[in-house]
Amino acid sequence: MSDKMRELLPCPFCGRLPTPSVRAGTKAEGAKFRGFVSCFGGGYSSHAWHGGIGDTPEAAESAAIASWNTRHAAMQERQP
């Protein structure tokens, strides 16, 4: 398991480990990379669409993971 995957928190909805992905940006996006973290566990989709944008694939993935982990923490705080 990579260091990045160890940093990735489980899905706040189903508890499974989500999947990070990166794609190349478009010219309209300034040709940067876009990172996403998503989970399809539990029969529904939960996405961190506001993932990350970076100059490199690694930077975009790191930003998406940071965004996902923030979401996880917020969901855990709201649960009784």
The amino acid occupying position 68 is: W
pTM of the entire predicted model: 0.72
Range of the domain at 69: 3-78
pLDDT at position 50 is: 59
The band of 1, judged by pLDDT with boundaries at 50, 70 and 90, is: very low
| Residue 10 to residue 40: CA distance in whole angstroms | 12
pLDDT at 33: 93
Q: Give the total number of structural domains in the chain.
A: 1
Residue with tokens 């669409």: 49
Which of 80, 60, 64, 76 minimizes the C-alpha distance to 11?
76
Share of the chain above pLDDT 90, in %: 18
- Closest by alpha carbon to 60, among 35, 23, 24? 35
And the tokens for 62?
Answer: 């790191």
Q: Could you give the 3-state DSSP secondary structure of residue 7?
A: helix
